[in-house]
Amino acid sequence: MIIQGILDENRQLYQSQYDELVGRLLHIPKGSLRRQTRGGAEYIYLRRYLAGRGYEDVYLGPAADRRVNQMTTFVEERPQRVAERRSVVAALKALGVKRVELQEKGYHHILGKLMAAFEAAGLWDQGLMLIGSWCFNVYVQAFGVAFYPLRTMDFDFALKIPYRGDKTDVDALLRELGFMARVDAAYGKIDYVLPGVGIVEVFIDREQATGEAVAAVRENLALVPAPVANLRILIDNPVTTKVHGVHKAVTLPSMPAFFVHRLITARFGEYRDATLYPEKIRKDLKQAALVAVRIEGDEDLVAQLKTIVSELAEDLREKMRRSAAEAATYVQSPDLTDDDVARIQRMVQTALV
């Protein structure tokens, strides 16, 4: 019994190390770094192999950019982590762990824990939705949208209100996962930070955020969500997809809704200053362009896009037009290309017919 206890303890220890390494490796983009010098400045690319297509260089940004340096550090870390994982796998197999327990999950392990915790609390059935760049990553994994490197580990969620579900202490749930509450007085919200990983934020639609609705969220979920404009474009157009290794089903906005919302918020989102955040605008436009490739090839998705746009107020349709028209000013090939802009403008024209 003593020996069995020691073996079980060792398995648990190595399994925890394996899960941490897998999560870390999933956050590190696969590929090798390439550097090019143009006009006296150095730019960094990630060379990736795509089955059936050969090698592809993904533009990361200028070498002088702090976030690009962070990403290159992650890429350079991969060989060491792969070697560590190999050693841990060997130890687990020696302890009798089966191959099925060593599967990679396809996502950062923290995202998997968040999804599972929210499922256990019944929040997916009560109007919770994954949005933001991790939503885009699900499109990549589940719907065949082209890869685009994540440059943030922040986890964004939308919540449909009024909330009518059971009481759940989401504050305690997130703290149990290691997140720490942080008051953001500037925007009147509380988000949750996991040092070295990212931030969890929950948003609600500003037009629906009455005092009564916000009070109900605080009362029933122990959350202080952030109201933002135009969130209903996403919330009113949900889809559910199975995601291997993370959660049996995740709710997220449809790709047409994501396309429309990305275009509007890229240039006209709250707290978005075009002069201060050109890289964020470029990222939003790039994601819209990549999702547009998938929409363009599917008649049902095109029909959904037209329906969503037809229900928008005229001022939002005008913001879509302007965002598409001005997208060319943010071209920085290959991060955002002329082809991306042409595709966005073509999809907007199709949607507005």
pLDDT at 178: 84
Q: Is 219 part of any domain?
A: yes
Out of 8-22, 71-85, 86-100, the most confident range is: 71-85
* Whole-angstrom distance, CA of residue 343 vs CA of residue 264: 16
Q: Is 247 part of any domain?
A: no
* Whole-angstrom distance, CA of residue 131 vs CA of residue 335: 22
Looking at the structure, do residues 173 and 223 belong to the same domain, yes or no?
yes
* Whole-angstrom distance, CA of residue 125 vs CA of residue 168: 13
256 preceded by cis ω (within 30°)?
no
* Whole-angstrom distance, CA of residue 75 vs CA of residue 93: 27
pLDDT at 77: 80
Q: pLDDT tens digit string along 3-59?
A: 555 555 566 676 666 666 665 665 566 788 889 898 888 998 888 776 666 787 878
Q: Is 107 part of any domain?
A: no
Query: 104 pLDDT exceeds 70?
Result: no
Q: How many structural domains comprise the chain?
A: 3
Q: Which domain holds residue 18?
A: 2-102
- pLDDT grade for 275, boundaries at 50, 70 and 90: low
Task: Give the β-pairing of 226-228 and 198-205.
Answer: parallel
- pLDDT grade for 169, boundaries at 50, 70 and 90: very high
Q: Is 175 helix (H, G, I), strand (E, B) or coil?
A: helix
Looking at the structure, do residues 137 and 207 belong to the same domain, yes or no?
yes
H helices of 95-169, where?
109-120, 132-143
Compare 151 and 106 and report the one with higher pLDDT. Answer: 151
Residues in CB range of 281: below 8 A, 6 or more apart? 266, 267, 272, 274, 330
Q: Is 83 helix (H, G, I), strand (E, B) or coil?
A: helix
Q: Is 338 part of any domain?
A: yes
Amino acid making up residue 26: L
Tokens of 146: 């082209």
pLDDT at 299: 94
